[in-house]
Chain A
């Protein structure tokens, strides 16, 4: 079980530093390949014309937004249960990326909706629950910012993320039901069978978003580790010879 040694920030800091560039490079390469497939190679859609191409950004962003919330709640719960520092920092590092993905999914969804449904905002079940998810992310970030003591902030955000993760499916079901009652299932995107090349483009973009998220979260995690462990010996060793920390 050698992996556990990386649970200490001092051990994980250099490892994260080594991993981050690889994930970033993979994200860049896959992103370019995926976008080329999505924007040039994939055939034009019969009904939606070129506007459908935004799904190559929209769908991966929406997936990441939901997945990252669960991951954040997982690390938050771990921090709560085991009182570990690194997992709390992990949860802290994930929140802004999750919020970004949610905002991106909403934004691209609106730009997709305008040409396809004729409106930017439709109170569609998925859009509404994404909006609430964005509020949940922003709530966690705001709660952390409001608490001065980082240990208390860790635990408070852990509790909030756990309560949120139980609520997310309930919110989604309620919104979906509310939506079908009020609007009927008028909005049904992606009914036409997806072309194989489109599927490939989408898959590649999903991985690009994955690797981007991992890279950014690792880099943010490094910054958080330095900031919060500023008084510890391993940070002092790192900054040795450098200028005095202000």
Chain B
């Protein structure tokens, strides 16, 4: 059923026209981005559940201790970051799983269009539907931890740079574990969470630095460097992983 709607609603990509125009990379990127965004918008309930997961994790931490203002203030940024990591992790299987199951991913890999560009488009859609909501929720959720405005700003900027890295790195793990019987969430967590640690450290550290009165420029710049590295490397590593999984 899903394949039917897919083929009906998404006409075959105009490969030849794109190749002749010489803009195969951008065309493939935007095509994949729009397609995945549209698919995501068709399953809004699923998206909502993922965002709720983030909200609930954030709300659970204060319940595990005395709701002391000072303590919450200290823990808040770290909790918001860890919850962002977990939310990203939880949504990763969605990135390729259905396309893998119905054969679309194989068609993408076979097409003459550059697979890394298609994958980057998919990752972009994944971030827009899971990473961006997390960032947008920060001002609201930080009220629960009574965070000060300064910290909230740094959190937002940090998450804005950091969450795309999570989607990019996570895509590699999602592609590597495609179609594995035991490949569910826990294996993906084992593969990906260690790689997430620098993002968590720099992101949470930026808030600490700002609170101690210094500028978080160094931490945020390092996150930006990480984002650039991931942008350059991850699509290629992911497309290699996808081809391996399709073999």
Segment from B38-46, B50-58, B151-159, B177-185 that makes contact with A? B177-185
Chain A residues with Cβ below 8 Å from B197 are 132, 171, 174-175
Please state if A152 and B177 are interface contacts (CB–CB under 8 Å). Answer: no
Report the nearest A residue to B181, measured CB to CB: A146
Q: B176 and A160: CB pair below 8 A?
A: yes
In the assembled complex, the Cα of A138 lies from the Cα of B182 at a distance in Å of 15
> Could you tell me the dominant secondary structure of chain B's interface residues?
helix
- Number of contact residues on A: which range applies? 20 to 34
What's the Cα separation between A139 and B186 when bound, in Å? 10
A156 touches B244 (CB 8 A): yes
A-B contacts, CB under 8 A, total = 79
Q: Is the CB of B201 within 8 A of A146?
A: no
Expressed in whole angstroms, the minimum distance between the Cβ of B123 and any Cβ of chain A is 15
Q: Give 1 or 0 for each of A165-189: 1 = CB within 8 Å of chain B CB.
A: 0110011011101100110000000
Given A152-B247, A164-B195, A181-B209: A142 touches B187 (CB 8 Å cut-off): yes
Q: Do B187 and A146 touch (CB < 8 A)?
A: yes
Contact flags (1/0) for B183-194 with A, using CB distance below 8 Å?
Answer: 100010011011
- Find out whether the CB atom of A167 lies under 8 angstroms from the CB atom of B198: yes
Residues of B with C-beta under 8 A to A166: 233
Residue on B with the closest CB to A178? B201
Closest A residue by C-beta to B238: A159
A132-B187 contact, Cβ under 8 Å, with A152-B244, A174-B202, A181-B209: no
Are A139 and B191 also in contact (CB < 8 A) when A159-B172, A159-B176, A174-B201 are? Answer: yes
Contact A152 B245 (CB under 8 A): yes
Is B208 positioned at the interface, with any CB of A under 8 Å from its CB?
yes
Q: Given A135-B193, A142-B190, do A177 and B205 touch, yes or no (CB 8 Å)? A: yes
Smallest CB separation, B199 vs chain A (Å): 9
**B residues 114-148 touching A (CB-CB < 8 Å):** none
Besides A152-B244, A163-B172, A164-B195, 5 new A-B residue pairs in contact (Cβ under 8 A), listed by A number = A142-B187, A146-B180, A156-B245, A159-B241, A177-B201
B interface list, Cβ under 8 A from A: 169, 172, 176-177, 180-183, 187, 190-191, 193-195, 197-198, 201-202, 205, 208-209, 222, 226, 233, 237, 240-241, 244-245, 247
List 12 contacting pairs A-B, 8 Å CB cutoff, sorted by A. Answer: A132-B197, A143-B191, A146-B180, A152-B247, A160-B176, A160-B191, A163-B169, A170-B198, A171-B198, A175-B201, A177-B205, A178-B201
Mark A residues whose CB is within 8 Å of B. 80, 132, 135-136, 138-139, 142-143, 146-147, 149, 151-152, 155-156, 159-160, 162-164, 166-167, 170-171, 173-175, 177-178, 181-182
